[in-house]
Structure 1
């Protein structure tokens, strides 16, 4: 199955653009994904660090307030229970985050408490007393069945607390008792809401988790997640004290872009080692990149269609002359009288159309012109160019035409520079091939109605039709073009060959009747060019 040129060009253009689009989409998408991951990851990591710091700072501030309270004289012996109750209630009223504050004796009996809750009862077995009676103590988030019954949550859920315990000592350092405080964990939700909500507005689908150190239990997170255990790469890195971000990709489940931070305390507060995890589904975090890739693909497809159409039109423009040549050839084969059209806009068209035109003209013309090189005795057997006999016949007709048109003929006598060296180094066979290639380049450098002949050896004569006003300038343009062509390297049997070209020129005008004299002047100018440096043009004028 054959494919016509128009289809091939249009398909090639479209295929190239589609391939470039796929490559560009991959490269831009890959780089954009990396940049988007880094930008969003840093934003999540920074937010996790800020929340972690705020939680630690809050705990440091509350522990400091309880410790300052423990230094007041009201707690020294003999203790004034009414004054102590007033101080405790004042603290709770000023900071509602304190759910309960109580003062115990050295054995753990509650002497005074906010709202009178647990007064007269012992808490000596509670962790807050066992640890806080010795030194300032902050406990992790936990449930409290006793306070949970006495202080139920407005939402009906089991309340959670953070314990603070500070020993109360007299001036001599003797332990008199302990101040115990429980903070409602609801304050953490307020911190998370204040800091994470703006982030969630900017980063759709983001989730915030606060996870305990000891058992990886979720202390704060989306509904239904609290109390569950979390296990992922980000939590492991945060547990090692690191704060950064990563793309958590898990087979068979959703991937997340995750920022993480470790709570290492604030000031003299060592912290409880909480890890803050903020994550966003990767498909949402990288949605802008996916959109960019889709836009690139759509744009590329549109360009592919447009270039496919352009290729189709261009191919039609290229093929049209070939189709006309084919149509003319078909008419000739059927016996119709027509000619192969000539096209000069593109070199390949020109060569093809001229070759076919000359072939058909030679085959169909009953009698060749006197100067035409169709007879064996009138052309050079090596190059196929007209010989000296054909040149003389051509000049007879060219002179008559120039007289009628009041124009001139410019003679270019050419000799190759360095041809002898080619014969000596590469052999005469290579020299013959060089002469054949030189002949072709001379034909390329001249017009169809001008004459290129081989006089003998490495010498050629070119006859140009030039104007009466500036024949030398016109001849010089052609001569320079020929020199440039000949100076270009030749490939002979795998060898690269360089030769030059010396040109002698003379102009015939209707006043100069003898063309042989003009040819002699051009020959003399040719030798002047060789003696004066070669690879150049020299003009001789008739006296």
Structure 2
């Protein structure tokens, strides 16, 4: 029923015609091998210098690209983590039950227990007074003047890294050090849009250190590797101890390089191959403007090429012929599996479905490369699936599993924004639901809402969208497709009323509720979909005035009553 779970904004992979690359003839390989042998024998010294310098440049470029890639990976990981945390708080803030401090307290305690990166999480009322807090920290405190409350009252807020003096000594952190946090907060709103408080969390900055450790563990062979994370104003957040809290020692570096690398002489007089990447945010999260810098001493980078140059000069003449023969055989053994890996990677990059990195033979390093690439692709696929699930959760009503108000409003806007097509809008409001809550408690009310949600989902067509807007209010949009009859709204409304009227069993007691339905059509009733939805809402209240447990169709004669 609900489109939740379907990939949004994703398209099927395109098909591309295969491009055939002519195979090199064996005669050409032999010609190249003989030519290389003759040239090496005649110009060993010159060749050693040229090849050594060329290898140094190529290796510097490779390491520079590696530094840039490492910086980009960390920047993406930081943005992805912050996006997930912001969406978690935003999704939780929309749960109606969390507006009750008692319910919020139990939820906050559970979140704190499950997520060690949360240093503190709490809820404030509209005046900025903390009414629920993890471990009771700051409970009853007035934080109305702090950005986490002020900005959270306006909308979703993500604050940059800062020190939290109020929590010093109250949360686990490095001994004697003022803890640093990243703030995330979101408004708690009633169904009418009134903001009644803020759900706020302080995430420990320790998770950023953990992200760096995870990223550089596989790079232990990169001697002298150093990483810096800079805030939007250029201050070093993470890096060598002597640099933290200060500007980057090479202040013009990040301004000159967007995402790229260069060889730079740093203030210590050492030349480093340095890669720079800027955080770009993720999806609807704009990011905090962080910059990641990765560097490695150039002498370490060039040490291997210096040894190569010496070896070529000293033994090139004697081994030229042998290397040419070995190269002739080895080229095919190495190029074929690498070509297969590169071909698969290019096809995956073009979006072709069903392509996997091949399990190639040959050298052990090439086998390791193919295994590592396959594992990396699987990991990225799993992460994408997890991100898709988080997106689904943000659009799902947790109680009924129907789409929520946010999804419903975005669906209506997307479906009618082009001006074409037509649709029927139905507003459904339960009758007699409040006495159920008052008499039997909220558990009974939740049971009724869950069963009513399931019944509504089973009544509508596959391409209809029915959502829970909040409380005991539901809504549905029934698009009318060309080539098939429009829905019989009178018959459909009767089926809905009959289904809702069926009793719900709770703790051995049969609970009954009814429903009133308001119906309006777009574009017949108005060309503006927002106006049509107001018409449906007006028709709903007419149904309630006429005796409840019935449906009413909006007609133009009711305009005065609607106003």
- Give the TM-score, by structure 1 length: 0.49
Which one scores higher on RCO, CA 8 angstroms, separation ≥ 6?
A: 2
- Give the TM-score, by structure 2 length: 0.47
Greater C-alpha Rg? 1
